[in-house]
Structure formats: structure tokens, C-alpha cells
Amino acid sequence: MPRSSFVGGNWKCNGTCNSVSSLTQSLSTTTSNIVGAEVVVAPSTLHLPFVFKNIRGPIQVCAQNISSTGSGAFTGEISAEMLHDFGIRWVILGHSERRKFYHESDELIGEKVRYALLKKLSVIACVGESLEERKNDETTNVVTRQLKAISDNVSDWSRVVIAYEPVWAIGTGEVATPEQAQTVHETLREWISKEVSSSVAEDVRIIYGGSVKPGNSKLLFEKADIDGFLVGGASLKAEDFAAIIKSTL
Ligand code: PEP
């Protein structure tokens, strides 16, 4: 069976009550007739309940982070079980901004993946190399090392989407070429085939993130191993996000 496309919108630390309300409303309209793609949006934790209650149509709601622990004496954290209890079923883990600004290690990300899956969440697990690592020809080593830390903690691959997000393309306007992205996606799929199983490799969605816009998504999506997108900036504009989703149908 062909893999269905997957598109995530990462709103990051953006939004006010007003802007989140109007984006939720616009997205509900612009995506109402979309069929055939799995779509999630990830508002800030504070805006999650509002978006969860008010979004209409085919869009699911996703968190941007969880604690690696359960509920308890962990001030400032949000647990997987809280999200699940609320009805939220997705979380982004291993985003390069969490790795870089909050010093999240491969090991911690692995623990979060394990805990999220244990508590019945689905995970968008991100990997990607920095510009320096790419220049030093370390891309394959970096992304497979990150993928191994994730894979070692996966109990159910049907609830995992892998996002390849080269750090140098995130929020920079510099998108990977379809060929550059395809090369890494193929490497990731081959790694999964060898280290996990050929059927998991065949089924798992590997999505690309890094300055995806309506103008570049179609050509990227034409590549055999690109199953959709994780979108930052363009997901804050309902028309652009809807156009990106439509380019995957
Ligand atoms: C992201 O934050 O995951 C991302 C890909 O951002 P942008 O689309 O803005 O590059």
C-alpha cells in the first residue's frame, strides 16, 4: 500500500489569543475539503486547549514537547499522560531548536520517544544536520546516529513519523534541493530497512522540513522517499499551509 502523505504545522512559540483564534478559524475553512493527507498543527502549550476545541475539519492537534517523565514533581513540565487525557494524540520530539537551545541530547530525546509511545501518543521525531556537519560530510553519520537513538526506543512504528530537517534550512529561507532531501530520506529509509525491518521501512512516513513553501513543496514531494512536510513559518498562514497540504495529494 502506498504511504499516505503527512503534513505538520509547527507554530513554535508564536501567537496571541487573537491571532491563534483567527488562524484556527481560517485553517478550519481552507482545509475543510482536504481528503487523503494526515494533517496536524502544533500550537504552543498554552494555546493547545483552544485549538483542540475549536479546530474543524481533518486537522489533528499536536504538542511541541513533553517531559521525559510522567506526571509528578516536575515543575514547569507537561506530561504525555496529561496530553492523552486531554485528547491530544501527537507530539513533536527532537526538534533542532530543542536540541540547540535547550541542550536536548540524543539520549533524552530517545527517553521522550519511549515515554510518549508508552502513553499512547504518536510522535513526529526530528533529525537533521547543521551546516558545519554537512560541509564536513557528516550528514549521514549525524542523521543515522540521531535516528538510532530514536529507533532504540520505538515500541510501535505505526505511531512514528520521521522528520528530516536540515538545521541550515529551518527558518532560513534556504530550502534543501529535492535531490539533497531525497538522498537523506533514502539513507534514512535504508537504515530502517537494515536495522529494523523492510516492512517498517516501507510503511514509515519520512517528511521533510526546512523553509517549505507553496512554491517549493510540489517538487520536493515528487521525490520517492518524501512523504510530506513539517512546516514552520508557512504554517502560520492558512492559505500557504493549505496549498502545501494540497501539493501532497
Ligand atoms: C520547523 O520549525 O520545523 C521548520 C521546518 O521551520 P520553517 O518551515 O520555518 O523552516
Domains of the chain and CATH, by start: 5-246 (3.20.20.70)
Measured by CA distance, the residue closest to atom 2 of ligand 1 is 232
- Quote the pLDDT of residue 173: 85
Kindly list the protein residues whose Cβ atom lies closer than 6 A to any atom of ligand 1. 10, 165, 170-171, 209-212, 230-234
**Measured from the CA of 234, which atom of ligand 1 is nearest?**
8
Taking the chain (249 residues) in consecutive chunks of 10 residues, what is each chunk's mean pLDDT? 93 98 96 93 98 94 96 95 97 97 98 98 98 96 98 97 96 92 98 98 98 97 98 97 97
| pLDDT for residue 2 | 82
User: How far apart are the CA of 232 and the centre of ligand 1, in A?
Assistant: 3
Do 113 and 125 contact (CB within 8 A), yes or no? yes
Q: Which atom of ligand 1 is nearest to the CA of 235?
A: 8
Closest residue CA from atom 8 of ligand 1: 232
Q: For residues 4-21, b (16+ Cβ closer than 10 Å) or e, as one string?
A: ebbbbbbbbebbeeeebe
Determine the pLDDT at residue 57: 86
Ligand 1 atom having least distance to the Cα of 165: 5
- Point out the catalytic residue in the list 95, 97, 133, 185: 95
Q: Determine which one of 97, 133, 165, 185 is catalytic.
A: 165
| 44 alpha carbon – ligand 1 mean position (Å) | 15
Which of 8, 10, 3 lies closest to 171, judged by CA?
10
How far does the centroid of ligand 1 lie from the alpha carbon of residue 73, in Å? 32
How many other CB atoms are there within 10 angstroms of residue 75's CB atom?
4
Q: Does 95 participate in catalysis according to the annotation? A: yes
129: Cβ–Cβ under 8 A, 6 or more apart, which residues? 138, 139, 142, 143, 166, 167, 168
pLDDT of residue 129: 97
Q: Point out the ligand 1 atom lying closest to the alpha carbon of residue 212.
A: 8
CA of 129 to the centre of ligand 1 (A): 14
* 140 Cβ contact list (under 8 Å, min separation 6): 184, 187
Distance 45 CA to ligand 1 centre (A): 18
Model confidence, pTM: 0.96
